[in-house]
Structure formats: C-alpha cells, structure tokens
Amino acid sequence: MDHREFIDSIVENFIGGICAFEVDGRSRQMKPVYLNNGLYRMMGGTKEAIDMLFSDLRLSIIPDDMQVFEQGIRDILADDGAAEFEFRIVGVDGGLMWLRIHGNLYSREGDKNIISTVILDCTEEKTIEEELKRQSNYMHLLMDMDITFDFNCRTDACVFRFAQSDAHAKDTVIEGFLSRIPESGIHEEDMKPFSRVITSAMYHTHRDTIEFRSKGFFSDSEEYRWYKADIASVVGKEGYVSHVIGHIVDIHEEKLKEIELQLKADHDGLTGLTNKRATEALITNLTKECDLLDRQGALIILDADNFKNINDTFGHSNGDRVLATIGEIIRNNFKGMDVAGRIGGDEFMVFANNIENSINACRLAEKIEAQVMHAFDGDPMEGNVSMSIGIAMCPAHGADFETLYRHADAALYYTKEHGKAGWHLYDPQDRDRS
C-alpha cells in the first residue's frame, strides 16, 4: 500500500465524518461534495438515507438550534481560522442526535465556497452534560462542598470533580473504580449499600439517593463525615446505560442533628435504653441477619420481680432508681451490635447478637441477675430487688422476632412460676410443666 492509499484508508475508516461541502455564498445552501464511509457508520443508516439527510441538512435541524448552525457556517466562510459548533438534528432513525462540526474554508471562487469539516456524534457527551446540569439545578448543590462524579460503565473509570476544595485537584480519576471503592474511605457498614446502588444503576435505568459515611477522600477530615449521593443512569446512543453520574454533598451537621433527634425519640429517658418500638424494629433486623449470615443470637426478656411492692413500700422515686440501675447494668453488659431496650414499666428485652452458644447466653443472664440482686446491698431495698429472665436462641428457637419473643416469654413465665429471681432457657416442653 503506497502513501496515498494509506491516507485514503485512514480517512475512509475514521469513525466520524470527514466531509466536504459546497456552500453558496449568497443563499448559504449546502450540498455535499465528499462524505467518507465513517460518516455513514457513525450516523447508523443506509447510504441513501444519509445522502438524502446531508443533501439538505437544514431540514433535519431542530429549530431552536438553527441560529447556532447558521452562525457556524458564517464563521467558517469568514475564513478567520477553524470554527466549531454543536447542534441537534433528527437522525435517520427518528431519534435526536447532537452533532459537532469542526470546519474551515478550503477554497473560494466567486460565490462558490468549499468547506472541509470533521463531523462527530456528541450525543452521549451532551446527554451527560445536560443530566449533570439538571441534577445541579434540582438539588441546589452550589455550596462549599459541591462534588460531581461521572462513572464510565465501559471503562470502569470514575471522574470526581471538586468544585470548591483545597484538598483535591479539579478532577480526580479513579481507574477500576468498582474494585477500588474500599479505597474511597467509605465506612465499612456503608460500602456494600453504596456499591449496590452504583451497580444497580449500571444495569437498570433509574435515579437513586444514598447516605453514607466517608473520611479522607471527599474532605481533609480524618474523621468520618456523612454525605448524600444523588445518582442517575445515563443511557447512551446504543440504548443501554453507558454512564452513572451524580452529585455528592456533605450533610454531616444535618445528619448529626437528625441522629440526635432520632436517638431521643427512640430512647427511654429513665434508663437510657431504646424504647419498645425501636427495640422490636432493631431486633427484627438482627434476626434476619442471623439467618443470612449463619449467626446465632439470644433474645432475653428480663422482668423486675414484685416491682409494684417496691413502689408501694419504698416510693416511686426509689422505684425509678431501681429501673435506672437495672438499665445501667444491662447497658454495661450488652454493647456493640447488641440491642437492649425497656419495653414496659418493669420489663426489659435484649438481643445478644452473634453469641457463640446458649451456654454463653445463660451465663450472661446469670451474671445480670447476680449484679441486680447485689446492686442494693447496704440499701434499705436490699433483698427486695431481683429479676426473672427468659431466654430463646435464634435461630434454634425461632428465626423471626415474633416466634423468638413468644418462646422467650414462655421461658420467662416458667421462671416466674418456679420461684422468680432466676433465669430459664426455652424448652419446647415448658408448656407441659407446672
């Protein structure tokens, strides 16, 4: 292949238009002089349909963009260097396309002008740009920490843009983004939900919002901060999701206030434990995790014995002191992912998460019982405070909250029927005992 053939081959196989048009200097009418094969491939239609479209391109241009197109042609004919402009047309398939023309004047004889152009399909680029603008306007994210991201599903690369941040350059590119999400400083508990939202947006066109904690990437802070990501899928020309884009905004202060209010709403003021509604909701979630992660848990119901007599004999203020003391003992023995709550006047419920076996659960119950009984040694109430405790194991005695509660309550009833001040592990035969 000689040099000329090589150049011709490159021109013909370039994915995009390398074209020449004759333009009348007075009427500005255009007709194609040369269209390369790459233009036909880019436009995605038959040669006849593409030839017809470019024989009078103005007929396909969106009216709102006609002024841009006319000005672009005038700029090329002014012969003051190359001109570039973008406009929308109705493609041969009836869909909307964005075209970008980069052109210059090649020759002029009277009113006959020949212009040479490179024509590119910039539909996907403009769609992403418009989506980002739409999200920005909708979310009013023009604030101190305005972060946008563009994840390319084809290349697995994500570009983060930090509008106003001293900690980062204007753009930060992460190659192999999906596998490197753990490096973005996202909290361990939020990493899977964040990855799930991104992955879902890759395969199902939709919008989503997720709140997550991160440190060291989106700001200089080495402490975890709360962020909100508004995410949207962008469908490319081929009809499938090509990009996942969105905004990330710092919501740390607002989230802390929300958490504080939620904690106040979910907690019992006297004991500091969660209230009945929150306790049952949290335990319900943990029972599901036990099933999914093949863990064991223990549901423990604790009831203060003869509490009415304590109130009647020692007064309600001392009764409150007993409840507060029991709450403190429970808090000291159950921490981390355990759930501890006050579910009634003198009734408490605990879910010991990821406990090794029922023996450990019984030891915990025995320890709490002993601590409660000795908490008032040397006090006028000494010898009057004790607990009755019922235990049910998850999933052995039930894989859902309702079943576990029913069985732990049966075990508690057994304890009360057999002298109180003790504990009992649920046994299916309990119903037959008296």
Known catalytic residues are 346
Return d(Cα 170, Cα 164) in angstroms, integer. 8
Q: For the chain, what's the residue count? A: 434
User: DSSP class of residue 186?
Assistant: B
φ/ψ of residue 49, rounded to 5: -65, -40
- State the DSSP code for 398: -
Which one, of 187, 198, 213, 212, lies nearest residue 158 by Cα?
Answer: 198
**Dist. CA 410–CA 7, nearest whole Å:** 88
Alpha-carbon distance of 67 to 85, in angstroms, equals 11
Residue 408 CA to residue 239 CA, distance in Å, equals 55
CA–CA dist 169, 146 (Å, integer): 13
Q: How far apart are CA 91 and CA 103, in angstroms?
A: 21
How buried is 371 (Cβ within 10 angstroms: 0-12 exposed, 13-18 middle, 19+ buried)? Answer: middle
Tell me the longest C-alpha to C-alpha distance in the chain: 115
What is the spatial distance between Cα 326 and Cα 86, in angstroms, rounded to a whole number?
A: 73
